[in-house]
């Protein structure tokens, strides 16, 4: 196991063979410095040597640690004091809480240069773990308890009201939690990832709900003012609800972000949970925004939760609809834009996906070409 440097990742790596792997599979460990990689490789070799002489793997790990203790605290003779000194220098599942381990994990990912989206997913999904187990010792987690926790996991809104989580959300929590525990295991904070004994929740691909052309025609004919601005930003520019409304982490889109001379919408990183992007204004979008006759400064939609609920109710009533389609405005934009222009890379850029494949997976063949063309003519209809 000789350390080697990977230019693409700017990291040193050690290839761990099957016979030395904890899970019986070949794997690769990464380190910031050559010295860290060399120390890790030496430790693995020492473990293997001891194991071949009949010493169990766990005892081998302890032996390697003890050897490091003697190097670190050579002036201490008593084993008890040496072990105590070692524990002060090295985290373990018996000494640190899950919250403390999470902080180390998050810092490590920041150091590795992980992007804003990746770090955000860590906060979201491990946030649910911290709420339930944050003050527990890391080593106290066990598969039976976690199985029950996943079965009974619920979400909570701003008012504290609980609601059932979708299988997809539970699956994402499982993936994020498991990645965290695998990281802890590699650093020997725990002996084994307890989530290996917990089945990953199965998630079926949800059907994306969109507004029909007939529904949108009724809506556009029955609303005006700020209600029309809200619909136009989502259905004819593809903005996320959080980008329009804002949330606790960032403000929504501002009037200053709309450049009608260049026919562009500028979504900066401070306005979105994702990376920023520039959206091309379609003619339908421009005509509908002109109809609103609203031009001011600051946040476009600056409403309370109750005011937003009232707005959505008026929009539903205009469309003769009973239920608001989840993310319906944005999904409608993606479906009808891809259907009309048949250009996945373009739609991907407009909607802010990381690649065209994601766009095709979400919106491919969602609507007919004829309906898509009718959608983009809605804003040009003089009757609306």
Domain definitions of the chain by residue range: 4-88, 98-197, 213-380
Mean pLDDT over 150-164 rounds to 79
pLDDT at 251 over 90: no
User: What DSSP element (H or E) covers 332?
Assistant: helix 328-341
pLDDT of residue 233: 97
pLDDT of residue 54: 44
pLDDT of residue 372: 96
State how far the alpha carbon of 228 is from the alpha carbons of 86, 178, 235, 270, 288, in Å. 65, 44, 10, 24, 8
Confidence of residue 255 (pLDDT cuts 50, 70, 90): very high
pLDDT of residue 276: 85
How far apart, in whole angstroms, are the C-alpha atoms of residue 221 and residue 208? 25
Six-digit token pair at 12? Answer: 């040193």
**Nearest alpha-carbon partner for 150 in 164, 135, 161, 134:** 164
DSSP 261: T
Q: At what angle do helices 328-341 and 344-351 cross, to 10 degrees?
A: 150
pLDDT of residue 39: 77
Superfamily of domain 213-380: Intergrase catalytic core (1.10.443.10)
How far apart, in whole angstroms, are the C-alpha atoms of residue 221 and residue 217? 6
User: What DSSP element (H or E) covers 4?
Assistant: strand 4-6
pLDDT of residue 366: 83
How far apart, in whole angstroms, are the C-alpha atoms of residue 54 and residue 118? 43
Six-digit token pair at 304? Answer: 């309370």
4 strand-pairing partners: 13
pLDDT at 146 over 90: yes
> Is the backbone of residue 160 left (phi > 0), alpha (psi -120 to 50) or beta?
left
Q: What is the 3-state secondary structure (H, E, C) of 69-116?
A: HHHHCCCCCCHHHHHHHHHHHCCCCCCCEHHHHHHHHHHHHHHCCCCH
Q: Are 40 and 20 in contact (CB under 8 A)?
A: no
How far apart, in whole angstroms, are the C-alpha atoms of residue 153 and residue 130? 13
Q: What is the mean pLDDT of the chain?
A: 82
In terms of average pLDDT, the best of 56-60, 272-276, 296-300 is: 296-300
Whether CATH 1.10.150.130 fits 98-197: yes
Q: Which of 3-7, 9-13, 69-73, 131-135 has the lowest mean pLDDT?
A: 69-73
Mean pLDDT over 101-125 rounds to 87
Rounded to 5 degrees, φ, ψ at 17 are -70, 165
How far apart, in whole angstroms, are the C-alpha atoms of residue 35 and residue 264? 50
How many C-beta atoms surround the C-beta of residue 21 within 10 A? 12
Location of structure tokens 């499982």: 174
pLDDT at 59 over 50: no
Q: What is the DSSP string of 270-295?
A: GG-SS--EEEEPPHHHHHHHHHHT--
Q: Which of 60-74, 275-289, 342-356, 359-373 has the lowest mean pLDDT?
A: 60-74
pLDDT at 217 over 90: yes
Confidence of residue 50 (pLDDT cuts 50, 70, 90): very low
């Amino acid at each position: 196991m000789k350390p080697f440097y990977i230019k693409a990742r700017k990291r040193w790596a050690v290839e761990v063979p099957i016979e030395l792997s904890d899970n019986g599979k070949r794997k690769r460990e990464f380190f910031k410095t050559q010295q860290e990689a060399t120390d890790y490789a030496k430790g693995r070799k020492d473990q293997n040597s001891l194991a071949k002489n009949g010493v169990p793997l766990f005892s081998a790990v302890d032996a390697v640690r003890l050897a490091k203790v003697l190097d670190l605290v050579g002036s201490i003779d008593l084993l008890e004091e040496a072990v105590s000194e070692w524990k002060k220098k090295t985290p373990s599942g018996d000494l640190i809480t899950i919250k403390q381990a999470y902080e180390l994990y998050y810092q490590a990912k920041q150091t590795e240069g992980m992007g804003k989206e990746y770090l955000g997913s860590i906060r979201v999904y491990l946030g649910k773990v911290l709420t339930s187990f944050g003050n527990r010792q890391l080593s106290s987690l066990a598969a039976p308890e976690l199985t029950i926790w996943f079965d009974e996991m619920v979400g909570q809104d701003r008012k504290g009201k609980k609601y059932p989580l979708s299988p997809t959300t539970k699956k994402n929590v499982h993936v994020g939690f498991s990645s965290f525990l695998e990281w802890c295991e590699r650093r020997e904070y725990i002996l084994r990832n307890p989530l290996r004994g917990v089945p990953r929740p199965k998630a079926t691909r949800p059907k994306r709900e969109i507004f029909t052309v007939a529904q949108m025609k009724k809506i556009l004919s029955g609303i005006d003012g700020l209600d029309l601005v809200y619909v136009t930003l989502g259905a004819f520019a593809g903005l996320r609800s959080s980008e329009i409304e804002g949330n606790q982490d960032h403000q929504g889109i501002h009037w200053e972000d709309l450049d009608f001379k260049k026919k562009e919408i500028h979504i900066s990183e401070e306005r979105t949970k994702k990376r920023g992007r520039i959206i091309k204004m379609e003619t339908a979008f421009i005509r509908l925004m002109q109809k609103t006759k609203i031009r001011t400064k600051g946040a476009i939609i600056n409403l309370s939760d109750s005011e937003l609920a009232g707005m959505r109710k008026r929009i539903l009533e205009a469309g003769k609809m009973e239920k608001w389609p989840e993310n319906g405005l944005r999904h409608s934009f993606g479906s009808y834009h891809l259907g009309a222009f048949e250009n996945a890379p373009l739609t991907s850029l407009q909607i802010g996906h990381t690649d065209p494949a994601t766009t095709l997976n979400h919106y491919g063949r969602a609507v007919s070409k004829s309906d898509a063309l009718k959608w983009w003519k809605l804003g040009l209809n003089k009757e609306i």
